[in-house]
Amino acid sequence: MIGILIPAHNEEDLLEDCLEAALLAAQHERLGGETVEVLVVLDSCTDRSSEIVSAYPVHSLAIEARNVGQARAAGARFLLERGARWISCSDADSRVAHDWLVAQLALDVDAVCGTVTVEAWHEAFDESAQIRYHQHYQAREGHRHIHGANLGISADAYQRAGGFEPLACDEDVQLVRQLERCGANIAWSHRPQVLTSARLDSRARGGFGDYLRDLVQPG
């Protein structure tokens, strides 16, 4: 079984598109009919996120941590207990490509670090801010970006690395660094595609939204 893990904190505006994309990827013909289970970890949600999730054929897990590391760890534990051999992580403000899972698995490695593509630029991003972004972002094979929105890992490698730590930010970076220390075979690939939002009101301080905000207001 393959598990798709999506943490969510008050994501009512973008969650439906996220789930529809994940469910489409789960039905890709090249998966050969393997079971794919989607899990949304609802972390301290006070909006309609829970109601939205309940309308889809997915699992949900409610926690009160307000901590993305704890949310991902709880979700991974849930999926492993259900027999997942591979866990693909994304974010609730992102939309995975139809062949996202197929592209991750085809790399035949312990873990995959994928890139993200900004779907639509926030109005605050003028031309100079967009240029700064493209000058620094490496949308290619061999990049060195780490995104929780596009991360895949085998169950064995995840457990060897010790799993996600309860960090409010960079829990994905911590896991990948631990994978490297464990000698895991990691693909840094542009093939698994994920579209993500360019919102500046990021859910995790120090995350991708804050990175974008720094481009808008360079120091």
Confidence of residue 213 (pLDDT cuts 50, 70, 90): low
CA 171 to chain centre: 11
* pLDDT tens digits along 78-95: 999 999 999 999 999 999
Return the domain boundaries, the chain: 2-216
**pTM here?**
0.90
Question: Torsion angle of alpha carbons 89, 91, 92, 97, nearest 10°?
Answer: -70
Average pLDDT across the chain, whole number = 91
The whole-number pLDDT of residue 50 equals 98
Whole-Å CA distances, 120 to 56, 93, 130, 163, 180 = 26, 12, 11, 32, 33
Closest CA to 195 of 95, 88, 93, 92: 95
Enclosing H/E stretch for 72: helix 68-81
- For residue 192 the two structure tokens come to 């698994």
Q: What pLDDT, in 10s, does the model give residues 51-74? A: 999 999 999 999 999 999 999 999
The answer on pLDDT for 149 being more than 80 is yes
- CATH classification number, 2-216, choose in 3.40.605.10, 1.10.1740.10, 3.90.550.10, 3.40.190.10: 3.90.550.10
